[in-house]
Amino acid sequence: MLVLLMMLGATQTYAQSVRAPGNAVNLDDGIEEGPSNALGDDSQSDFWRNFRGGDPNDVNQMISALPEGAVMTTTGQHWRKFREDYIRKYAGWFPLGVIAILLLYHLIKGKMRIPGGYSGKTLPRFNINQRVAHWFMASVFIILGITGLIILLGRPLIVPVLGKEVNSVLTSASMQGHNLFGPLFILALLWMFFKFVRGNFFQIVDLKWILKLGGFFGGHVSSSQFNFGEKTWFWMVVLVGIVMSVTGILLLFPWLVDDLRWLQLSTILHAVGAILLISVLFGHIYVGTVGMEGSLDSMLKGQVDENWAKAHHDLWYEEVTGKSATDEEGTS
């Protein structure tokens, strides 16, 4: 009991010793009372919306400037939805559609034969440098096309048939190969451009080629060294190839841009450009192989038969030979 009394007395003495003196000043006097919450007039919703870069339901966020102070982007769901619902869903149908059209055409019209058959006389069409540039581009593009399609469509097409493990191995290998051969595509594109740009500028005669649908449904169509279809394919490869190169570099080195939306846009443009080139490539391969007699010789041997030149590139034939394409030996 004595101990308790002593402790109680000590507590009262300590409480009296820390009591404020009578002349103490209240520091709160004259200070305006602040807001009841740390955000001031902003609501929690406004704060987090700006923090994460805008309203995730606003599609305009895909192209509009990010709010000041934003440290996140909310366009990932829009990008994912577009990629899954449109690109992955419909991408494979475009190449298949082109193949179906070419197959139907071949069944109805058959192979385009050389009028009058082979003459036995040839003309030089492409030199060795041009042919190497062409096949180098073709090889790189085919590798990138196959690996790119596996990366893009492996999950919906390979998984249901071969399973997840096989798709995982193929996708991983395709990613490594795609990243390895991607820079080579840029080199191939530059090489092809400088070797083939001459002669690929559009001319007035190309309008006649368009009106006659290239002669695929009958009738003779005049053209120079390259016809309208070949010129269009050349410039498509060049222009779309530039887009593919730029977007590929950004995806390979993502730290080159600060805004994540550039990378999201790059994946879309890269996929769309690839599907476009792959689809048209089937037409190019068809005409250059089984679709037109004598065409493949130009890229394998560098030589073409004179009757082939008269039938398909008469203006070029007259330019390099100095003879008329409609003489008695001609078949046009």
Continuous segment of H or E residues that includes residue 303 = strand 303-305
* pLDDT confidence of residue 63: 61
Between CA 217 and CA 222 the distance in angstroms is: 14
Q: Is residue 327 part of a domain?
A: no
Q: Is residue 273 part of a domain?
A: yes
Contact 123, 303 (CB under 8 A): yes
Instruction: Give the count of domains, the chain.
Output: 1
Residues of the chain predicted below pLDDT 50: 2-3, 5, 14-15, 329-332
Tell me the whole-structure pTM to 2 decimals. Answer: 0.78
Write the CB contacts of 271 (distance below 8 Å, at least 6 apart in sequence): 83, 87, 91, 148, 152
Residue 196 belongs to domain with CATH number: 1.20.950.20
Show the domain range for 314.
Answer: 121-321
Q: Is residue 111 part of a domain?
A: no
Per the listing, tokens 């887009």 go with: 243
DSSP conformation letters of 67-125: PTT------HHHHHHHIIIIIHHHTTHHHHHHHHHHHHHHHHH--BPPTT---S-EEE-
* pLDDT confidence of residue 145: 95
Q: Is residue 196 part of a domain?
A: yes
Q: Is residue 97 part of a domain?
A: no
Q: How many CB atoms within 10 Å of residue 288?
A: 14
Q: Is residue 163 part of a domain?
A: yes
* pLDDT confidence of residue 2: 47
Q: Is residue 46 part of a domain?
A: no
Kindly state the DSSP code that residue 64 receives in the 8-state scheme: S
* pLDDT confidence of residue 266: 94
Q: Is residue 281 part of a domain?
A: yes
Q: How far is CA 263 from CA 69, 147, 241, in A?
A: 21, 20, 17
DSSP conformation letters of 121-188: -EEE---HHHHHHHHHHHHHHHHHHHHHHHHHHHHHHTHHHH-HHHHHHHHHHHHHHHHHHHHHHHHH
